[in-house]
Amino acid sequence: RKEVEQDPGPFNVPEGATVAFNCTYSNSASQSFFWYRQDCRKEPKLLMSVYSSGNEDGRFTAQLNRASQYISLLIRDSKLSDSATYLCVVNSNSGYALNFGKGTSLLVTP
Amino acid sequence: NAGVMQNPRHLVRRRGQEARLRCSPMKGHSHVYWYRQLPEEGLKFMVYLQKENIIDESGMPKERFSAEFPKEGPSILRIQQVVRGDSAAYFCASSPPAGGVYEQYFGPGTRLTVT
């Protein structure tokens, strides 16, 4: 079983739509969780950390369910500029290495 | 404040040649991490280095791959006798000493193509 699993998509949504991505992780001892964004052929960039209580940053909301080992990202009022691949990331047992999912592709259309 | 720098951005090598990838961390960062992204795959951790020390190379293939981070100069990932399966994007990240997973900033990557 892969350490971090995501639905690869693609998700094609119109501007203004709300879209949700999910991710599961296999290591119940994981402590740190993140969503990164990766544009085509570019480096991954941190979008937001994910906390047990859930957290929001503008149009983006992240949730963590430790019991189910499940992480989600909700994007409201999608913009064309949100088109990218969204990577679910969990810390490894080492504590410093990051385990990346393959990513979920989002295309926001006019 | 320059970010993480990697060069070259694109590298083409024939099978059997050597590839050297360089990474200059952000100013003030003394920790470097290398990740590899194979086509259609997620990033995979390769190695974690501090100045003059390899801390964890558990993600590095056992043969042909080596990494260093000398006292002066960039970190270097070296791949000897490259094969087609080495074609990938290689990303370097850096962090300050206490940063760990929370403050890894990624460079633009080096795209290696082996022909």
pLDDT tens-place string over residues B52-88:
999 999 999 999 999 999 999 999 999 999 999 999 9
B40, B42, B101: residue with CB nearest A101:
B42
> Rounded mean pLDDT of chain B?
94
Compute φ and ψ for B83, nearest 5 degrees.
-125, 165
Q: What are phi and psi of A81, to 5 degrees?
A: -70, -5
Mean pLDDT by 10 residues, chain A (110 residues): 89 97 93 94 93 92 95 97 97 88 96
* pLDDT at residue B101 is higher than 70: yes
Quick check: B43 and A100 CB within 8 A? yes
What backbone torsions phi and psi does residue A33 show, to the nearest 5 degrees? Answer: -140, 140
Q: Determine the pLDDT at residue B1.
A: 56
| B9-61 per-position pLDDT tens digit | 999 999 999 999 999 999 989 999 999 999 888 999 999 999 999 999 999 99
| Residues A41, B89: C-beta atoms closer than 8 Å | yes
On the question of pLDDT at B99 being above 80, the answer is no
User: What Rg do the C-alpha atoms of chain A give, in angstroms?
Assistant: 13
pLDDT greater than 90 at residue B91: yes
Q: Does B52 touch chain A if contact means CB atoms closer than 8 Å?
A: no
Q: Who has greater pLDDT, A73 or B102?
A: A73
Distance CA B16, CA B2 (A): 34
